[in-house]
Chain A
Amino acid sequence: MEINKFIENFADQLNDTEISEITSTTVFKDLDEWSSLTALSIIAMVDEEYDVILKGDDIRNANTIEDLFNIVSSK
């Protein structure tokens, strides 16, 4: 599992943010468009792409995209 691909998959779930604006240190909950539906999309994307079931709490406990990447990697 590779972080650049993860960032790409993450950016795919966003509608108003360009992938160039996203890095591993982006605090994703500070994005203007972040919403509970975005969180559900991230959970579903991780399930489909990585076969990992994230909980809402996993999203809550992560700040940066790298944090989330590490949670997914550890599962």
Chain B
Amino acid sequence: MGIISNPFSLEGKTILVTGASSGIGRSTAIEASNLGARIILVARDENRLKETQAALSGQGHRIIAADLTDEMALNNLVEECGALDGVVLCAGKGLTRPVQFCDRSRFDEIFNINFFSTAELLRLLYKKKRLVKGASAVLITSMGGTHVFSGGNSIYGSSKAALDSFMKFAAKEFAARNIRVNSVCPSMIETPLIHSGAITEEQLAEYAKRFPLKRFGRPEDVAYAAVYLLSPASAWVTGTSMIVDGGFSIS
């Protein structure tokens, strides 16, 4: 440790990251490890988690493969994870579909992972006292559904808006144990989720030009915001939703 301690350091902290097999989750795990954290990597696919693990700095990281929509797997995760200084909940799924084709089964498919599993995991980590006093929880939500309402994005957007709202309630209640809860609210980020094919690569390239900073976000743009919210530097920040959108909301 240096003479002046770095308020952005995650040295000595254990951080659980869901959705750690790709995209924002993988990048957040890597950046948090670069700042000294021990990471517990969670996602369904153990092989892809091993790829993430191989990219981490330092020692002592663990993998817990789990499908968070499976109640037993989720309970088991909470049993196994031990004490946590932070959690970053990135697991999520996209869907592009106009409202008139959004029946209940489509809502269930997306809400189950984006909202219900995430809310349930956060609830259990608090109730079972896995989150230690002073811990930080970061939820990855979205500009879509909270600030931007593009056609075809209703289910995904409303699942993320529900999560962003839930974050504020949890922040208020969890303050009793000095546990902070915040969200990062990204706009379009270069991840497998936006390259699903529903929107053509041509349309995506055109869309990128509409950002004041002239590009989509990169996973690390979101990861840097998440590590700030995990770190002691944000000790007085809770219940906030941090916009990371290349200036789209002021365009």
Chain A residues near B (Cβ < 8 Å): 35-37, 40-41, 43-45, 47-48, 55-57, 59-60
Contact = CB atoms under 8 A, between A and B. Distances in A.
Contacts of A41: 98, 100-101
Contacts of A60: 200, 202
Contacts of B152: 36-37, 40
17 contacts: A35-B151, A36-B151, A36-B203, A40-B96, A40-B151, A40-B152, A41-B100, A41-B101, A44-B100, A45-B101, A55-B197, A55-B200, A56-B203, A57-B197, A59-B200, A60-B200, A60-B202
A56 to B, nearest CB: 4
Nearest to B153: A40
By secondary structure, the B interface counts as: loop
B61 interface: no
Given A56-B199, A57-B197, A60-B200, A44 B101 contact: yes
Given A37-B98, A37-B151, A37-B152, A43 B200 contact: no
Contacts of B198: 40, 43, 55-56
A41 B203 CA distance: 16
Contacts of B151: 35-37, 40
Contacts of A35: 151
B133 interface: no
B206 to A, nearest CB: 10
Contacts of A43: 198
Contacts of A37: 98, 151-152
B168 interface: no
Interface string B94-129: 001110110000000000000000000000000000
Interface string B186-207: 0000000000011111110000
Given A37-B151, A37-B152, A40-B96, A48 B101 contact: yes
10 closest A-B pairs by beta carbon, nearest first, are A44-B101, A56-B200, A37-B151, A55-B197, A40-B152, A41-B98, A40-B98, A44-B97, A56-B199, A60-B200
A35 to B, nearest CB: 8
Most buried by B among A37, A48, A56, A60: A56
Contacts of B201: 57
Nearest to B202: A60
A69 to B, nearest CB: 20
